[in-house]
Chain A
Amino acid sequence: DTGVSQNPRHKITKRGQNVTFRCDPISEHNRLYWYRQTLGQGPEFLTYFQNEAQLEKSRLLSDRFSAERPKGSFSTLEIQRTEQGDSAMYLCASSFSSMGADYGYTFGSGTRLTVV
Chain B
Amino acid sequence: RKEVEQDPGPFNVPEGATVAFNCTYSNSASQSFFWYRQDCRKEPKLLMSVYSSGNEDGRFTAQLNRASQYISLLIRDSKLSDSATYLCVSRGGWGKLQFGAGTQVVVTP
A residues apposed to B, CB below 8 Å: 31, 33, 35, 40-45, 48, 55-56, 89, 91, 93, 95, 97, 100, 102, 105, 107-110, 112
7 extra A-B contacts, CB within 8 A, seeds A43-B44, A102-B95, A109-B42: A42-B87, A45-B96, A48-B94, A89-B41, A91-B44, A105-B97, A107-B43
Evaluate contact between A31 and B43: CB separation under 8 angstroms.
no
Q: Which 7 A-B pairs have the closest CB atoms?
A: A42-B99, A107-B43, A102-B95, A43-B99, A42-B101, A41-B101, A45-B96
Q: How far is the CA of A116 from the CA of B46 in the complex (A)?
A: 33
Residues 53-104 (chain B) with a chain A CB within 8 angstroms: 87, 89, 91, 93-102
| Selected A-B contacts with CB under 8 Å, 11 pairs | A33-B95, A35-B97, A40-B8, A42-B4, A45-B96, A48-B95, A91-B43, A105-B46, A105-B97, A109-B42, A109-B43
B residues apposed to A, CB below 8 Å: 4, 8, 41-46, 87, 89, 91, 93-102
